[in-house]
Amino acid sequence: MDMFSEECILRVRGHATDERNEYGNPIIAPGHDEPSPCWYEPMGATEDMVAKGQQTSGYWLYLPLSAPIGAVDAVVLAGLAYQVIGEPARQPKGFIVQGYMKLQLQRVTG
């Protein structure tokens, strides 16, 4: 049985290359989108009382340990982009459960 029964798109940030621009800063390669198996569950939603109409929603996202994701990347679930909050937590595999990463996703609208 595989716990990663859904699919999401990982928006992986580009990395620094060996080249430099005219100011001496490293040139960043373009990022790319990478499909990944996943599993997710809702965290809930809130509405800001000060900023009328602003809503925050989120998910807990579970990915395989091999997924190339970090705190600065984004994830697309069902066509909507969510920001990764904090660093992914890593759970090593055990006798019964396969290893996974747990991420907190957040989307702010309005």
pLDDT, one tens digit for every residue, the chain (110 residues): 577 889 999 998 888 889 999 999 999 989 889 999 999 999 877 766 666 778 888 999 999 998 888 766 899 998 999 999 988 888 888 777 788 999 999 998 87
Q: Is 23 a member of any domain?
A: no
What's residue 53's pLDDT?
74
* Residue 91, domain CATH: 2.40.10.270
**Would 54 be classed as within a structural domain?**
yes
- What is the extent of the structural domain holding 88? 6-15+28-109
Taking CA 106 as the corner, what is the angle to CA 108 and CA 11, rounded to the nearest 5 degrees? 105
Residue 39: which of 94, 102, 106 has the closest Cα?
A: 102
The length of the chain in residues reads: 110
Q: Is residue 35 part of a domain?
A: yes
